[in-house]
C-alpha cells in the first residue's frame, strides 16, 4: 500500500486492536454484542483500491478529485479527534468533559453527522445561539420541525447598527446554527421586539364644555 491513503488508518489499526478486544471481553453477560467496528487497516486498503481503479481509467481529474476528497475527510476527522482529546484533557467546568464536547461546534457537527448527538434539535439550536450570544444576541421566535424552518429574533443591535453590520451578525448566527443543527433548512429573521401592531386610536373633537355651550 502506498502512503497516500493508509498512513493514518494503519497507525490507528495498531492502536485499535487490543482496545477492541478488551471492550468485548468486558461486555456484560447476556448483552447484545456491538456491531463490528471498521478495521482501520482494511479500510485503508479499500480506499487504496478505489483510488487505483480510478487511476486505471485514465481520468486524471477524477483520480485527483478522489485523492483530494480523501485528504479533506482525513483532515476533518483528524481535527475532530484532536479537538476531542484537547477538550477531554482541559475541561474543568461543572459539566465535565461531556458538556465541553457538546458545546464545541466541530465535535457537535461530527456527532450530528453520524446521528450520535444525545440532544434534540431544539436543544442544539439553543447551544448554537449560546455560542455567539455575547457578540450577536438572538433568540428563537419559532421553529417548524416538519419543514426545518427557523425564525429568529434579533436580540438587539450591536455596533453602529448599519445594514452591513447586521448582516454580518446574522451570518455568524446562521453559521453556528448550521454547525449545531444542520437539519435547519431555512432561517428567517424578525426585528427585535416585533409583535402585534398596536390598535389605532381614533381622535375626535372634544365635546363642548358648559361655558362654551352657554
- Give, for all 214 residues of the chain, the pLDDT tens digit: 444 544 444 444 433 443 333 333 334 444 444 456 677 788 888 888 888 887 777 777 887 888 888 889 889 999 989 989 888 888 666 667 788 888 888 999 899 888 889 999 999 999 999 999 988 999 999 999 999 999 999 876 555 556 667 888 899 999 999 999 999 999 999 876 555 444 444 444 555 555 544 4
The secondary structure element, H or E, covering residue 149 is strand 149-154
User: 424578525: which residue's cell?
Assistant: 190
Identify the CA nearest to 137 among candidates 173, 171, 165.
173
CA distance 182 to 184: 5
How, if at all, do strands 149-154 and 186-190 pair?
parallel
Q: Please answer whether residues 150 and 125 qualify as being in contact, where contact means their C-beta atoms are separated by less than 8 angstroms.
A: yes
Amino acid at each position: 500500500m502506498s502512503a497516500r491513503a493508509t498512513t493514518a488508518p494503519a497507525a490507528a489499526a495498531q492502536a485499535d486492536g487490543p482496545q477492541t478486544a478488551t471492550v468485548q471481553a468486558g461486555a456484560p453477560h447476556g448483552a447484545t454484542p456491538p456491531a463490528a467496528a471498521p478495521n482501520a487497516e482494511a479500510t485503508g486498503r479499500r480506499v487504496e483500491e478505489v483510488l487505483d481503479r480510478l487511476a486505471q481509467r485514465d481520468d486524471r481529474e477524477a483520480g485527483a478529485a478522489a485523492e483530494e476528497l480523501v485528504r479533506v475527510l482525513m483532515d476533518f476527522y483528524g481535527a475532530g479527534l484532536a479537538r476531542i482529546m484537547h477538550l477531554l484533557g482541559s475541561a474543568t467546568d461543572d459539566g465535565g468533559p461531556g458538556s465541553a464536547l457538546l458545546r464545541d461546534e466541530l465535535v457537535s457537527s461530527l456527532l450530528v453527522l453520524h446521528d450520535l448527538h444525545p440532544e434534540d434539535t431544539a436543544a442544539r439550536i439553543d447551544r448554537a445561539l449560546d455560542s455567539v450570544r455575547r457578540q450577536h444576541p438572538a433568540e428563537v421566535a419559532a421553529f417548524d420541525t416538519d419543514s426545518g424552518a427557523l425564525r429568529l429574533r434579533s436580540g438587539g443591535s450591536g455596533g453602529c447598527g448599519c445594514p452591513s453590520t447586521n448582516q454580518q451578525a446574522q451570518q455568524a448566527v446562521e453559521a453556528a446554527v448550521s454547525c449545531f443543527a444542520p437539519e435547519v433548512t431555512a432561517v428567517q429573521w424578525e426585528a427585535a421586539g416585533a409583535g402585534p401592531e398596536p390598535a389605532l386610536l381614533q381622535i375626535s373633537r372634544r365635546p363642548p364644555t358648559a361655558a362654551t355651550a352657554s
